[in-house]
Amino acid sequence: MKTIEQLLELSKNPYYKFTKDEEAVLNDFLLQKRASDSQKSQKKTLTGSLPKTNVTVRNIVQTVDTYPPEAI
């Protein structure tokens, strides 16, 4: 059986045909890698937004009814 590194290199070759076992192992590895990468990216975005930033509000605009009286 080939290692994951070997399977990844072979996947770059368009003429190589995987056996069912090799393809299953490679697909399982890639699915796990994608899942862990997406979890890492979610954690990275969450931790990036945790520090609190002070915000200064300059203008407060009140909402105004813009509908004409006959449309109501």
Q: What is the pTM of this model?
A: 0.52
- Look at residue 8 and tell me whether its pLDDT is greater than 60: yes
Output 18 or 56, whichever has higher pLDDT.
18
Q: Is residue 20 part of a domain?
A: yes
Q: Is residue 58 part of a domain?
A: no
Structural domain for 33, as ranges? 1-50
- pLDDT tens across 11-54, in order? 899 999 999 999 999 999 999 988 887 777 666 655 555 567 77
Q: Is residue 59 part of a domain?
A: no
Q: Is residue 60 part of a domain?
A: no
If pLDDT is split at 50, 70 and 90, which confidence band does 58 have?
A: confident
DSSP for the chain, please give it: ---HHHHHHHHT-TT----HHHHHHHHHHHHHHHHHHHHHHHHHHHHHT-S---------------S-GGG-
